[in-house]
A = this chain, B = another copy of it.
Amino acid sequence: MSFYNLHPDRFFDPDSDVRNYAGSIYDTIKNLPIISPHGHVDPKIFAENKPFPNPTELFIIPDHYLFRMLYSQGIPLESLGIPRIDGGLSECDPKKIWKLFSEHYYLFNGTPTGVWLDYEFNQIFDIKEKPDASNAERIYDELNEKINSPEFLPRTLFERFNIEVLATTDTALDTLDQHKVIRTSGWQGRIIPSFRPDTLTDISNPDWVANIKKLGDLTNRTIQNYRDYIDALRERRHYFIHMGAKASDHGVFEPFTKELPLHEAEVIFTRALKQTATPSDVRLFTAHMLMQMAEMSTEDGLVMQIHPGCFRNHNKQLFKQFGFDKGNDIPVATEYTSNLQELLNRYGNNTNLTIILFTLDESVYSRELAPLAGHYPALKLGPAWWFNDSIQGITRYRQHVTETTGFYNTVGFNDDTRAFVSIPARHDVARRVDANYLAGLVARHIISIDEAIVIAEDLTRTLVKRAYKL
């Protein structure tokens, strides 16, 4: 059992010059409101505003960042209460699960999950010990008591976290009912949807035909051809925009882009409806739909986010037992320069459009992404994503992109999380790391402290609001 309090200078370089500059810079941004333009929090928690059920369901069960690490050390997902989709049994006792988690908390030393959890326990729930075997029950009870008090209701935390706006990510088929409930509740918290059409644009999705049927139902039409489909998508985008959406989000295996002639798109679409599409059809249609989505963005103004380069559900056995998002999505090398040429040639010079690129392949930061964003006016770089959203990951991101693309072709921070209470922890890490990066430039006499302070606010606030039109 070790007692602790988070250090006020944490994550800053130990050198006193850098640390002092970092502290000065951080002080100017630490209390700015949180702008969260991309994430996966379930809007239902704000619609209902009920107490979180218990510490285990708040911290462990929904967080694949966390339980994948335990799994890698031989702990079955069942014993962590992860629900099986194949009918198998999972542990139901939240206290038992909490104990198992606490015993293995040391595994998170040196990881962002550890850093975020430390913040959540210490700064949000005022816990003064790191979880371990000996304190598991005590901390569980303390947390449980707190989450059942009014100060820890979702909307209260939202306000305490000083969140100016929170964007969720919603499938294009979502009716956004939870968003409607929030909007009509009278509560002032600003929660907006984002438009994610992957299940409608990826014709290899096993549910694609059913999804097209649903798309038709939602838009009061029978989708019989490509034109109907495009019209229906456009209508859904408008609905999302009407509900406050500012951005679309596109997850693709590779960022290949290619405009197909209309008749060719028609032919592939028809084959897909008949479930006879080939792998080449899948690739071409995805590439084509990125072009179509960019085209629609030039019309309706949605900011276009592209997240490529992930081999989803790598572990088939686990996927069959537990389903999506269980910690076995593994990055692959990703090519942007050639793949995006058609998109960027067609839309990249458009100063009214914003396309935000993400990557899991750090080797492209300096090689491809920074040169591309340092040229095309429509293109901006999203922040360090997923595995790279970490102290060293964000530092490397700044080190590899800044010299070529500057600060002003980046768009501030995304927390990208489904773990609501981790949001302030994540933004705090990003602000500290950016402050520290800027402090390093000041201490090396590359920029002045005054310039650093301006840039820090731009990274925290101005650039994200501008990029996402917030």
Contact = CB atoms under 8 A, between A and B. Distances in A.
Nearest to A390: B403
A392 interface: yes
A402 interface: yes
Interface string A349-362: 10100000000111
A271 interface: no
Interface in A330-387: 330-333, 335, 337-338, 341, 344-345, 348-349, 351, 360-363, 366-368, 370-377, 379, 387
Nearest to A17: B14
A73 B377 contact: yes
Interface string A388-410: 10111100000110111111110
Given A311-B337, A363-B362, A115 B446 contact: yes
B446 A72 contact: no
A86 interface: no
A443 interface: yes
Contact of A360 (B108, B316, B348, B367): B367
A330 B447 contact: no
B406 A107 contact: yes
Interface stretch (A1-9, A173-181, A254-262): A1-9
A462 B446 CA distance: 29
Contacts of A409: 72-73
A367 B406 contact: no
Q: How many copies does the complex hold?
A: 3
A212 to B, nearest CB: 29
Contacts of A188: none
Contact of A315 (B311, B349, B361, B374): B349
A160 interface: no
Nearest to A349: B317
A110 B441 contact: yes
A315 B403 contact: no
Contacts of A451: 2, 106, 109
Interface in A427-470: 440-441, 443-448, 450-451, 454-455
A106 B448 CA distance: 11
Contact of A406 (B11, B111, B337, B444): B111
A370 B448 CA distance: 36
Given A14-B18, A71-B377, A344-B314, A6 B328 contact: no
Given A328-B375, A371-B387, A377-B74, A110 B446 contact: yes
Contact of A407 (B109, B327, B328, B362): B109
Contacts of A214: none
A204 to B, nearest CB: 16
A39 to B, nearest CB: 20
A348 B2 CA distance: 34
Contacts of A331: 337, 367-368, 371
6 contacts: A14-B443, A72-B375, A109-B406, A109-B447, A110-B447, A332-B338
Given A7-B445, A72-B405, A110-B446, 16 more contacts: A2-B450, A11-B445, A14-B18, A69-B374, A71-B375, A72-B373, A73-B409, A74-B377, A314-B344, A314-B375, A315-B349, A317-B349, A331-B337, A333-B335, A362-B366, A366-B387
